[in-house]
Structure 1
């Protein structure tokens, strides 16, 4: 059934190894590499750097208290409120305190943040923020502009070596010490081993474990599974954020209608033209994302539909102010200046991931994690809007500062081990495509916006069946991460933030604490679900 952590434990003594290997070519990975310069770094990216990164798709921006009337304390407090009691307060304070410095770093790398005629940053407000503090680029193009600037800086930095088109499959290691990364050439069987003194996981999120997501296809949860297989602690895996306003036009990934539209006054209505948020929350359209997502989900499932009405708030200026959303609407045959936009919730961000401390260190020696793959405790049960890019750069910088005292001798070596499973690639690919389809539908249906025990147990059973036909380590990684999320969701018998249980609809003060699991516990929970299903079949 493939490789294990212990299968790859090279003796590093006396060998040339890379200083640092970073798995992931998104914002966290590239920012960390630049901060480590001139220390030699190898960045391994599944796709050409930037292309497969969720960071590049971010329409909002970076939250930072940089205006005269704002303070990091206000930003901290807003973040803590959104996290529904599960944020690590010291982590949040560090992140918000350092936000201004990281924005200035990005400006130094050439990011063209919106500025007024006096050169001051133009700021906007998003849901649950008490001040205008979101730094943007042309309304909805921050992610793309940030990534373009960082990619240009990385290409000009000789200490950074880029390896594109290789997918991380396994961590190499000995005991609890991570000693490198094993990567497979995308679309083939060729593998490379990258021994390293330090490994940084920056592999992104879990979006494409779900049937409806706003994330690129490369967001497959591989990093979480790699770390879990190596014995790392996974935290808060049950907390998945669903963006309320993805365009409901049948596209995969689903185009995103940025929250800034509601910040500008766009309304949420159903097919009858009713503003359905009025009886639900005092902040109406700007209520926390989990509340808005559930309200929209219920309108859609009830057959009333849900729409974002921008006609009065944005109107004819839509194309100039929000070109990305406008293009997506036009491509679907919708004129957002004159027509309400059909919307539905879509998987958007994972608050959980590999447990890290304030410096990005995981529970395994030699392994750091940053970005969406990590769980720092900054987001708690529900991420505050535009804190994701901020968290990525803050902790990428902290990791770079933490990694020191390593010999700068970059080296890569071929690993001759190949997949040991029999079968023709075409046959295997067909089986695995079917398994992925089953997985994504299972996660959408049973581990989505609202969950219950029966559906979560069914998900664990179905994920196990799908995994049985998977041969490649990369596909099994998707199954493992999905199983972790479903098992963690089954363990938490309450509703809180991005985790909503219809059979436990209330928030339980006794469960106001973060969750931690390792893979052996997840497998025990999954096996119990399978046994229960078998007993039900035999009993009937």
Structure 2
């Protein structure tokens, strides 16, 4: 058993920012960060485009950024939260710059800014096309200089510890559910251990791996959302899964390489197999319409023409500038035989971002006491029905700060609960066949991709629900009978996340933002969040 004051689950921008702040404010307290693989293997690392932030008040304004966010969110953003994030954002960005993050600058010393879909002006600061990687590098460098922070890798969190583990009946109606820490699978000795904490932060990232093709890394399995749901916490808006319009199309490749929206911001044009700039049939903003609109347009073109991808045309763009701004994309295309001066880039939408998640308030508190959440796993109210491009890193920084303020204010009045029992693995055995897990995972990805993708209908959703019920039953039986493994836990979490996406999609009797149901093609007048 280990006891820590502040426990952080996840080592992306949200978790690391929070950990640095609480460690600096409370030098006498223990801070522990847990991650299930390497310390830098996070969704943050793969973020390309940049951070949307108002830094040039001569050409931009808070009001413009707020309006762009609200328009993209299609009526479901929390306006107060949008204003908080936009107005507090510049200060948070300045902090990570002070911690060593390098953003590109022009010759005059001003920050270089790009424009992405849904933005009315150029406001996205970036580090070439590897912004997330640069932020992750800078934050980890700072983390390793803090003596009261321990960063534990290859440690898989199995479940949150609540009153349930003390023998009490905990339901959705239970008042004052409390988090006392977590059970973790230490992958170095394959033992389940318990870590008790006074304050716990979930910064576990996204869930793109529930789909067959995703821009997310393999770790994006929705662990935090699934754990909170099992602990009877509140989850909301899971139907809003953002598909990035322009993932590099490579047959048979499931973890798709992202072609950042900034390429379109710099002049890239979407074209179909006939070479047509088809976006003029769908939206006056053309290739720079918000992501939900562009993804549906591409999906429509692919179905209309019977093709598996469309193209991003960069042949007319200045090669030197392209290589300077997008060196990673240029090298990737070159490595598979695409010469961007002569060839169009084949692209197709891929699961990219979850706009819903663990419901939090304006300071990042969840419905479970002593438990906070920020980053992609959280639903703060910023994104509504569709996230505005490059608002995610900004949101993570702002809410990491807000969680930090609340946590340090509560830490001295929060006590450890030392009555937590050890993990009981009696009666379990080693799994006989891994195919029981791998095949169920394939089925899950197929169900979600074929029935709960960019375009949905009631029949598909009902069929998906029946398939997921069967997968859930089989996986829970396997979980009860066998020794816990990361693969089994991830499968269990992904089935839970898939169920929540389908359930929320069933409840929403309209088409709004990222949720498009052909049985309800229009928006309704009922603006509401779907809370599960």
Normalised to the residue count of structure 2, the TM-score between the two structures is 0.90
Q: Secondary structure at the match of 1:372?
A: coil
Task: Establish whether residue 457 from structure 1 lines up as the match of residue 473 from structure 2.
Answer: no
Q: Secondary structure at the match of 2:456?
A: coil
Task: Establish whether residue 447 from structure 1 lines up as the match of residue 452 from structure 2.
Answer: yes
Alpha-carbon distance, 1:34 to partner: 0.7
Q: Secondary structure at the match of 1:241?
A: strand
Residue from 487, 497, 518 that aligns with 1:502? 518
Task: Establish whether residue 159 from structure 1 lines up as the match of residue 165 from structure 2.
Answer: no
Residue from 468, 472, 494 that aligns with 1:478? 494
* Cα displacement string for residues 417-449 of structure 1 (whole angstroms, at most 9, x for unaligned residues): 25456443351x321111111111111111110
Taking the aligned partners of 2:425 and 2:341, their CA distance within structure 1 comes to 53
Residue from 75, 97, 119 that aligns with 2:109? 119
> Which deviates further from its counterpart, 397-406 or 480-489?
397-406
Question: Which residue in 1 is equivalent to 2:351?
Answer: 347
Taking the aligned partners of 1:185 and 1:18, their CA distance within structure 2 comes to 17
Asked if structure 1 preserves the Cα contact closer than 8 Å seen for 2:237 and 2:356, the reply is yes
Q: Secondary structure at the match of 1:417?
A: coil
Question: Which residue in 2 is equivalent to 1:211?
Answer: 212
* Cα displacement string for residues 156-184 of structure 1 (whole angstroms, at most 9, x for unaligned residues): 11111111001111000126011101111
Question: Which residue in 1 is equivalent to 2:439?
Answer: 434
> Which deviates further from its counterpart, 398-407 or 151-160?
398-407
Asked if structure 1 preserves the Cα contact closer than 8 Å seen for 2:194 and 2:422, the reply is no
Alignment of structure 1 residues 206-355 onto 2, 5 Å: 206-250=207-251, 251-302=253-304, 303-304=306-307, 305-315=309-319, 317-355=321-359
Question: Which residue in 2 is equivalent to 1:131?
Answer: 121
Alpha-carbon distance, 1:378 to partner: 0.2
Taking the aligned partners of 1:263 and 1:474, their CA distance within structure 2 comes to 36
Alpha-carbon distance change, 72 to 239 in structure 1, aligned in 2, over 3 angstroms: same
Task: Establish whether residue 24 from structure 1 lines up as the match of residue 1 from structure 2.
Answer: no
Task: Establish whether residue 194 from structure 1 lines up as the match of residue 183 from structure 2.
Answer: no
Asked if structure 2 preserves the Cα contact closer than 8 Å seen for 1:24 and 1:204, the reply is yes
Tell me how many residue pairs correspond in the alignment.
499
* Cα displacement string for residues 476-495 of structure 1 (whole angstroms, at most 9, x for unaligned residues): 12111110111100110111
Task: Establish whether residue 76 from structure 1 lines up as the match of residue 66 from structure 2.
Answer: yes
Task: Establish whether residue 373 from structure 1 lines up as the match of residue 374 from structure 2.
Answer: no
> Which deviates further from its counterpart, 413-422 or 257-266?
413-422
Taking the aligned partners of 2:106 and 2:461, their CA distance within structure 1 comes to 50
Taking the aligned partners of 2:426 and 2:311, their CA distance within structure 1 comes to 50
Taking the aligned partners of 2:204 and 2:426, their CA distance within structure 1 comes to 25
Asked if structure 2 preserves the Cα contact closer than 8 Å seen for 1:18 and 1:410, the reply is no
> Which deviates further from its counterpart, 468-477 or 398-407?
468-477
Asked if structure 2 preserves the Cα contact closer than 8 Å seen for 1:249 and 1:332, the reply is no
Question: Which residue in 2 is equivalent to 1:359?
Answer: 363
Normalised to the residue count of structure 1, the TM-score between the two structures is 0.89
Unaligned runs of 5+ in 1: 1-14, 518-540
Alpha-carbon distance, 1:194 to partner: 1.0
* Cα displacement string for residues 36-92 of structure 1 (whole angstroms, at most 9, x for unaligned residues): 1233211010111122x1111000111110113212121111101110000000000
Alpha-carbon distance change, 325 to 109 in structure 1, aligned in 2, over 3 angstroms: same
Alpha-carbon distance, 1:464 to partner: 2.0
Task: Establish whether residue 515 from structure 1 lines up as the match of residue 530 from structure 2.
Answer: yes
Alpha-carbon distance, 1:319 to partner: 2.9
Question: Which residue in 2 is equivalent to 1:525?
Answer: none
Alpha-carbon distance, 1:336 to partner: 2.1
Asked if structure 1 preserves the Cα contact closer than 8 Å seen for 2:180 and 2:416, the reply is no
Question: Which residue in 2 is equivalent to 1:529?
Answer: none
> Which deviates further from its counterpart, 314-323 or 281-290?
314-323
Asked if structure 1 preserves the Cα contact closer than 8 Å seen for 2:114 and 2:123, the reply is yes
Unaligned runs of 5+ in 2: 164-169, 171-176, 480-487
Alpha-carbon distance change, 147 to 325 in structure 1, aligned in 2, over 3 angstroms: same
Alpha-carbon distance, 1:412 to partner: 11
Question: Which residue in 1 is equivalent to 2:484?
Answer: none
Question: Which residue in 2 is equivalent to 1:417?
Answer: 423
Q: Secondary structure at the match of 1:278?
A: helix
* Cα displacement string for residues 164-219 of structure 1 (whole angstroms, at most 9, x for unaligned residues): 00111100012601110111134874112111111101001011011010000000
Alpha-carbon distance, 1:509 to partner: 1.7
